[in-house]
Structure 1
Amino acid sequence: MFMSRLRQIPTHHLQSTINRSNCGRRYHFAGFATVAVGKRALNIPVVDFSGYRHSGSTSEKRQIADQIVSAFKDSGFLYLAGHGIPTYTVQNVFQKSADFFKLPMAKKAQLAWEDPRSNRGYVQVGRERVTQSADADEIAALRASAPDFKESMEIGRDWDKTWRNMWPLEADVPGFKQTMLQFFQTCHELHTYIMRAIAVGLDMEEMYFEDRINEQYHNLRLLSYPPIKTSLLTKDGQARAGAHSDYGTLTLLFQDNVGGLQVRNPHTGEYQAATPIPDTIVINCGDLLSRWSNDVLRSTLHRVVAPSIQPISGTEGVTPQRQSIAFFCNPNAGAEISCLPTCYSPSREKKYQPVTTEEYIVGRLKATYM
């Protein structure tokens, strides 16, 4: 949508368009989040997915599929409503995540992340430095000068015979393992539905991706952004999480109400806040889905910056605690990511050589962590 000037729509105006019923939690939206960024505004639409999950109507499914694909073509991001995950389920995951991060460092350190092929375990503040750079020396320098101020807990499929999840003791965080395993499965099932919609929106058979994503080669990441003083965020390139794209097919992001996520407008290079909207999930397209689609769908840069500062003196302030839950959806480890049949033509050549999921993701992880 081209506009010379566009007024920002406050979050509460978007929320006022939500119509909830007691049965089925259906949503109806009359707009999208947008902000003035010069000649072209970045639109992050709110898509009601309930019709795709429940409707037997081919036309309604196609309409919703087209909305999702259109969003990924334009900005690479959308808010998903009507996704079917109850609010209390998400709240419980956030609570268990908070309980884990409250553990003493000595207990968390026993579960330390060890290997990019596993991508499981606890990552302490400063160990990861997300970036688009592929240069190991450059990433090391960034990590030393401006590390990401966040800690995380990485969880994969629990039945993997080669790589095991690293769980806290049940006595330390009661119900943690069971909660996370159930949520992992719930997110995988939602991801499968969204990939079906993407297939439809790209004019392919609905089940095209089914046997390419069924091994659950995903990553559930619990994220904690501790409070941090303003003075520590003034270094060049510093952020709570640096600008980056995600590696896989989709990311399902569950935010708290603190905020801080920003999306880079691919048309102008400016960043827009992806303001939390209750009962929605922020969904973005990852690198492998973008490669699969020959860049028809966008994998867009995003970052996490400091939200509103709370002053603690005349010259110093502190950011509030922030939590988020990210579910990184990936194709099967051995799946070959080569151009989809509807995404190239004589006028649109294939841009990438085939690569397997494992080759791509492990390569990115090796460069990201120390």
Structure 2
Amino acid sequence: MFTIRQLSVLCRAASGVKSWGRYSTLAEDVLSDSTFRIPLIDFSKFRNATSVQEKRHTADEIVNGFKEVGFVYLTGHGISPELIDRVYGKSADFFRLPADIKDQVAWDDPRANRGYVQVGRERVTQSSDAAEIAALRAKAPDSKETMEIGRDWDPVWKNKWPRETDAPGFKETMLTFFQTCHDLHNVVMKSIALGLDLQEDFFGRRIHQQCHNLRLLSYPPIRTSLLQGDGQARAGAHSDYGTLTLLFQDSVGGLEVQNPHTKHYQPAPPIPGTIVVNAGDLLARWSNDVLRSTLHRVVAPPMQKVSATEGVTPARQSIAFFCNPNFDAVIESLPTCTSATCPSKYAPVTTEQYIVGRLAATYS
């Protein structure tokens, strides 16, 4: 395992930041691509704090990361590596199943947002125009397959589980992980509340219904020539929809984050033992854009040569837990994020109105 100091050096080195001399502030670093970095934060200091003052230090780090970049790395998050490894294993087992078995649990409804999505069906983008998204999908579909899982006790929208005989232990593992990620989301939102000068429990009654989405992602090997066309990517540039995304990366890499200041994409490399956490659209709206919902994408990692003119990208796995407010929660600018000189930029919207609208346009 790495120490927090070693991880900090690794994080800065991977981002091209010199690690000697005076440490500049995050606000200074992100102004240039050569010094851009995603802050690495030890969240155990918040989880184990014994006073509000101790919590506030970490809370300010997290809020500052979302203000300047929209992304942070969390170490000390409390999710065991054994559970994460088990989820990766069960996810890989599912995606290895024959297509006809996976198709039995196919995604078919944006409000439900549950089930298997085959390669090429989704095209993530910032556009909300259905015709434009359809054209993008035809020209440059995302080269990934996914499995979408929601709260299992929903009275209307049911998860689509493969049969236990086809995927032993899959359902049990994913339900355990879903609850674990919700618990972490709840604590991170407490830190954000403190960092925005709100009561620590401000978001609690607005996120407790667990209207989240656990997404298992598999990026199959693909010839690099297929990723070199205009607009091609493993997953196109987009922001996420909800409050936070908890992203678990394997060692392959490929995630890139847009520098909000230069608009150029910068790598967000895997760092052992960490979770990548980014703010989503609804948290940005809640904070009146004090917190950033930053564009990001997945590109091809270094290829493996198969001939003098062609290469193949390695397979990649990731796990994304999309944290959402309650579907009936009204998202409107927080009082601590507005003023006479900075009025609200957004009309109130419910979580359901916003997310279902975006999902309906994203899928074919």
Q: TM-score range by the shorter chain?
A: over 0.9
**87, 101, 116: which one aligns with 2:110:** 116
> Residue by residue, what CA displacement relative to the aligned partner does 1:66-87 show, whole Å, maximum 9, x if unpaired?
0000000000000000000111
Aligned residues of 1:68 and 1:197 also touching (Cα < 8 A)? yes
Residues 1:342 and 1:30: Cα distance change in structure 2 (over 3 Å): farther
Residues 1:30 and 1:233: Cα distance change in structure 2 (over 3 Å): closer
Aligned residues of 2:7 and 2:271 also touching (Cα < 8 A)? no
Q: Distance in 2 between matches of 1:166 and 1:197?
A: 33
Counterpart check, 1:328 vs 2:314? no
Counterpart check, 1:292 vs 2:279? no
Would you tell me which structure has more helix in proportion to its own residues? Answer: 2
Q: What SS does structure 1 have at the residue aligned with 2:215? A: strand
> Residue by residue, what CA displacement relative to the aligned partner does 1:110-131 show, whole Å, maximum 9, x if unpaired?
1100000000000000000000
Q: Distance in 2 between matches of 1:238 and 1:106?
A: 27
Q: What SS does structure 1 have at the residue aligned with 2:58? A: helix
Aligned residues of 2:327 and 2:350 also touching (Cα < 8 A)? yes
Shift of 1:32: 4.7
Residue 80 of structure 2 corresponds to which residue in structure 1? 86
Residue 363 of structure 1 corresponds to which residue in structure 2? 357
Residues 1:365 and 1:186: Cα distance change in structure 2 (over 3 Å): same
Q: Distance in 2 between matches of 1:32 and 1:74?
A: 17
AA at the equivalent of 1:256: D
Residue 219 of structure 1 corresponds to which residue in structure 2? 213
Task: Give percent identity, aligned residues only.
Answer: 66
Q: Distance in 1 between matches of 2:76 and 2:32?
A: 32
Counterpart check, 1:267 vs 2:253? no
Residue 351 of structure 1 corresponds to which residue in structure 2? 345
**272, 283, 286: which one aligns with 2:277:** 283
Q: Distance in 1 between matches of 2:69 and 2:106?
A: 35
Name stretches of at least 5 consecutive residues in structure 2 with no aligned partner: 18-29
Residue 317 of structure 1 corresponds to which residue in structure 2? 311
Residue 154 of structure 1 corresponds to which residue in structure 2? 148
What's the Cα RMSD here? 1.5
AA at the equivalent of 2:189: M
Aligned residues of 2:4 and 2:42 also touching (Cα < 8 A)? no
AA at the equivalent of 2:4: I
Q: Distance in 2 between matches of 1:96 and 1:293?
A: 37
Q: Distance in 2 between matches of 1:82 and 1:283?
A: 13
Name stretches of at least 5 consecutive residues in structure 1 with no aligned partner: 1-14, 20-26
Listed as ranges, the matches of 1:175-254 within 5 Å are 175-254=169-248
Shift of 1:197: 0.2
Q: Which runs of 4+ in 1 moved over 2 A?
A: 15-19, 27-43
In the superposition, the TM-score normalised over structure 2's length comes to 0.93
Residue 18 of structure 1 corresponds to which residue in structure 2? 4
Q: Distance in 2 between matches of 1:35 and 1:232?
A: 29
AA at the equivalent of 2:134: A
Residues 1:196 and 1:255: Cα distance change in structure 2 (over 3 Å): same
Q: Distance in 2 between matches of 1:98 and 1:316?
A: 26
Shift of 1:38: 7.4
- Tell me the number of residue pairs that the alignment of Structure 1 and Structure 2 aligns: 349
Residue 143 of structure 1 corresponds to which residue in structure 2? 137
Aligned residues of 2:122 and 2:363 also touching (Cα < 8 A)? yes
Aligned residues of 1:249 and 1:331 also touching (Cα < 8 A)? yes
Shift of 1:28: 7.9
Aligned residues of 1:28 and 1:48 also touching (Cα < 8 A)? no
Q: What SS does structure 2 have at the residue aligned with 1:95? A: helix
Q: Distance in 1 between matches of 2:7 and 2:252?
A: 24
Aligned residues of 2:124 and 2:238 also touching (Cα < 8 A)? yes
Listed as ranges, the matches of 1:43-58 within 5 Å are 43-58=37-52
AA at the equivalent of 1:48: D
AA at the equivalent of 1:200: L
**130, 136, 140: which one aligns with 2:124:** 130
Q: Distance in 2 between matches of 1:339 and 1:124?
A: 37
Residue 93 of structure 2 corresponds to which residue in structure 1? 99
Shift of 1:16: 5.4
> Residue by residue, what CA displacement relative to the aligned partner does 1:266-288 show, whole Å, maximum 9, x if unpaired?
00011111000001000000000
Q: What SS does structure 2 have at the residue aligned with 1:199? A: helix
Shift of 1:230: 1.2
Residue 24 of structure 2 corresponds to which residue in structure 1? none
Listed as ranges, the matches of 1:26-37 within 5 Å are 29=8, 32-33=11-12, 34-35=15-16
Q: Distance in 2 between matches of 1:307 and 1:340?
A: 40
Q: What SS does structure 2 have at the residue aligned with 1:44? A: coil
